[in-house]
Chain A
Amino acid sequence: MALFKRFESAIDNGIGRRKLGYMLIALVIVFFLWFPNDASQSNYAKTVFISGFFYAIMSSSWALLAGIAGQFSFGHMAFMGIGAYAAGLIARDGVSFALLGISVTPESISAFGSIVVGTVFAGLVGLIIGWLLLRLRAAYLALFTIAFSELFRIMMLTEYDYTGGSNGLSLRPLLEIADVNAARQVEYYLMFALLIVCLLALYWVANSPIGLFLRAMREDEDAASALGVNVVRYKILVFVFTSMIVGFAGAVFYSDVGSERIIPEQLEILQMSLIIAYAVIGGMESLIGAAAGAFISRYLLEAMRQVVITLPFGLTTADGSDAFVWDTGFWRFALFGVVMVFTLRYMRNGLLYPIITWFSGRDIAMKETVSIRESDDEFAARKERDDE
């Protein structure tokens, strides 16, 4: 502890925590850029990372919606699905608006074009849902979004003639690279770039005046409104913005970048609760915390599929081996649940919050601004002194 205090003081008197934090972020980025070039890493490891990047986008955007704007929505996976399904369907069947004189045929639209259409469609639905949610708060908002999410999932499941039902919908591949290794390399960088761009966009919103309005709405919607915050506008804005981000991420991910097809089961409430859990573990009010929480959780859940346990004291198994493989199967999620319970009970701001706070220097500000209350003992001692 003393060593840490000396380190802390050296940093505070030296380059400062914030700069050190930026350096750490730069190092992490350099690591992710270098990772696929490490010849010892297989495509499987890159696949796990690609999935981690995708879920990091999902969790960080949900953190903006729920953690910063206070809109506790369960519809995030549905918006992701809307983006992916819309992109897949337009690339396969095209679309025609006779009244507007617009006709898009499958031949006339590229994979990227279909992704853009999927993103816009997700934004449009986000606009409608955001508008419908205007008068709903807390539990009612959550229930509404659960209902919407289930409605969409059931639609995708039952309209199997168009959506493929539980067999899923195959999206048009975004990349046409014959060499599997080169393709995986490009997919990795594409998903990583998408994560960086999404995080920058989310931070831009969170640190802009809009972010302040969103936080004000989260704390007290009526008070924010009374102070001149256009609650209607910003509520809808945050829904549209996050819907478009996840719609875009979903359309890209399922265009054979992370997976070649999307299935309705991917939109189940269980999957949504995983996104929430990642954000809670990383830190709901921190975009980078939620992203890191999602990436680390995904990585650990994958790494824990099979755990090799080496026996101590020269012990061996029945077949003479000094180690055995524990196929964690169902237990890894149970373990994940334990971490979640621990986080909610003891570290409500997320497991990464103390680290993020330390690097941002926010803990110093807190020490300076938060009044320190006397404990009962201190009060009794002071009273005794005063009486004397």
Chain B
Amino acid sequence: MKRITIVISIAALLALTAMLPLGIVQADGHCEFADDSIKIGGLVPLSAPGAVAGGIAMSWAINRAADDINADCGIEIDGANYAIEVVIGDSEGSPERGQAVVERFILEDEVDAVTGVYHSAVGLATMGMLDENSVPTVFSEPWNDNVSANGIMEYDGRPPRNADGVDHVFRVSPASSMVGGVVVDWLNDLGVDNVVIIAENTDYGQPAAADEKARFEAAGATVTQINVELGTEDFVPILSRIQAAADTPDVVRVLVTGETSFNLTQQMAELGIAPTEDTICVTNQVAFQSEQYWLNVPDGNYCAFNRVGIIPSLFSDLAVELNASYFEEFEDIVPSYAMATYDAVWIIAKGMEQAGSKSDGAAIVAAIEATDLDLSQGRYYFEYGNHNPDLPEGTPAFMWHQWPDPVVTMMQYFEQGQSSLDAAVIFPQVYQTHGTGYIVPGTSP
């Protein structure tokens, strides 16, 4: 009996093994694609002075989205299935190179749509070209308020829409103005009175510091602002000033990006300034990349940070799958801009399918305006566009073709070496994962 079982098992195993390639062939071959393909241009920084790591992640996301769409038999237009073909262009983070790449996309690669863009300067420089050439575009990372129809108006003095009533640029990343208020709202809710802001001396740090300072002061808090240069390694003199102050601050807010923010946060923790029972540590959003964070800030437990993009506890199945796939490739948690880029490709693809065309810019734009899709970052829709052209009084012009719901939250680590996937979401209340707005150092939620 045993022998029969073994023989049957081996036979079944062999049969399965033999069928496996067949199955793969069928999975690949079950779609009949049209000879022509749909070309999507990915404008990302892949060499210096651009943010190369960001460009690699975005490039990965575009290819991943194309693979997923193609595995699903591509885009169906008039009964034919079109495969997505990705053309990646290296913007080098430079407007000049970005413009040249977009020109190549349009004239030589003849792309049907464009996505990507990490640096706002590249978005600002290229959006006019994309619009003039009627290329449906969904930007996935630039934050500048003017990277939008509003920017096109300011770009060359033309009205925000083209003569045909269509402008072709959409954005699924948040505008800067959409991000600013969350940190202050959270801290004001906690009732902080004495705030220290350490801001880098750049166009990221300074406007953000000015904005937050005004909001804190409007709520009656006292704010001390300290400016630092990017690339500073030793913050001890600056931090000593905080230690020497008569009043212990309620919060130290770090408005410094990248590696520098890690250095600053670690030195702040080492000196016992924050996080402590008396002082809240609010570090930069790069802390979300937990592998890098704990490597550089081993003493940074209980620091809070803002997160742009969907929070891990709200990850859909698609987001979980995307994150697992990203982790396999890069051994890190998928960044929000990679998720946004992945979603942008799907938005374009579905727009083309709805429009029944891969080349009719106006029809595709109209279809994207009518988008209602659940993707890795949530439900995508565009509130204002040609379908709803009248922006109410007080609504900023950048809301035209802007996804209105990028999630901006506050998160906090509460265990040493914790993955950001497990970190607590503390604000806004609607997203709270541990039922608290702040975890006091030394305690557990």
Contacts and interface: CB of A to CB of B under 8 A. Distances in A.
Interface of A: 42-44, 47-48, 51, 154, 157-158, 160, 164-168, 170, 180, 258-263, 265-266, 268, 270-271, 302, 305, 327, 329-330, 332-333
Contacts of B202: 157-158, 160, 165-166
Interface in B166-210: 201-204, 206-207
Contacts of B119: 166
A231 to B, nearest CB: 37
A155 to B, nearest CB: 10
Contact of B132 (A166, A180, A265): A180
A266 B96 contact: yes
B107 A261 contact: no
Interface residues of B, number: 35
B214 to A, nearest CB: 15
B104 A44 contact: yes
B125 interface: yes
B198 to A, nearest CB: 15
Given A168-B95, A259-B95, A305-B90, A271 B49 contact: yes
24 contacts: A44-B100, A44-B106, A44-B107, A44-B108, A47-B99, A157-B202, A158-B201, A160-B202, A165-B202, A166-B119, A166-B121, A166-B202, A167-B203, A168-B121, A168-B124, A170-B124, A259-B95, A261-B125, A263-B94, A266-B49, A266-B96, A302-B100, A305-B89, A330-B46
B95 A260 contact: yes
A262 B97 CA distance: 11
Contacts of A168: 95, 121, 124-125
Nearest to A42: B107
B141 to A, nearest CB: 14
A157 B203 contact: yes
Interface string B111-142: 00000000111001100100010000000000
B95 A261 contact: yes
B70 to A, nearest CB: 11
B203 A164 contact: yes
B46 A329 contact: yes
A160 B229 CA distance: 14
Given A261-B124, A268-B49, A43 B107 contact: yes
Nearest to A302: B100
B19 interface: no
A299 to B, nearest CB: 12
Contact of A43 (B46, B103, B206): B103
B402 interface: no
B144 interface: yes
A305 B44 CA distance: 13
Given A44-B107, A47-B99, A329-B90, 15 more contacts: A44-B106, A158-B202, A165-B202, A166-B120, A167-B121, A167-B144, A167-B203, A260-B128, A261-B121, A265-B49, A270-B48, A271-B49, A305-B90, A327-B88, A330-B52
A88 to B, nearest CB: 13
A260 B206 CA distance: 25
B54 interface: no
A262 B106 CA distance: 23
B61 to A, nearest CB: 15
Please name the 3 residue pairs, one residue from A and one from B, whose CB atoms are nearest each other, closest first.
A165-B203, A160-B203, A259-B96
Interface of B: 46-49, 52, 88-90, 93-96, 99-100, 103-104, 106-108, 119-121, 124-125, 128, 132, 144, 155, 201-204, 206-207, 229
B100 A51 contact: yes
A171 to B, nearest CB: 11
Contacts of A333: 47
Nearest to A54: B96
A329 B47 contact: yes
A263 B203 contact: no
A343 B46 CA distance: 26
A157 B203 CA distance: 7
Nearest to B49: A265
Nearest to B103: A44
Contacts of B203: 157-158, 160, 164-167
Nearest to B48: A270
A51 B119 CA distance: 21
B125 A260 contact: yes
Contacts of B204: 165-166
A261 B146 CA distance: 14
Contacts of A167: 120-121, 124, 144, 203
A332 B107 CA distance: 23
Contacts of B95: 168, 259-263
A259 to B, nearest CB: 4
A244 B90 CA distance: 31
B229 A154 contact: yes
A48 B206 contact: no
Contacts of B104: 44
A48 B95 CA distance: 14
A55 B2 CA distance: 79
A150 to B, nearest CB: 10
Nearest to A163: B203
A51 B104 CA distance: 14
A189 to B, nearest CB: 18
Contacts of B128: 260
Contacts of A43: 103, 107
B99 A259 contact: yes
Nearest to A329: B46
Contacts of B144: 167
Contacts of A154: 201, 229
B295 to A, nearest CB: 23
B114 to A, nearest CB: 15
B68 to A, nearest CB: 17
Nearest to A168: B121
A47 B206 contact: no
Nearest to A157: B202
A70 to B, nearest CB: 29
B125 A259 contact: yes
A262 B49 CA distance: 13
A268 to B, nearest CB: 5
A158 B229 CA distance: 9
Contact of A330 (B47, B94, B107): B47
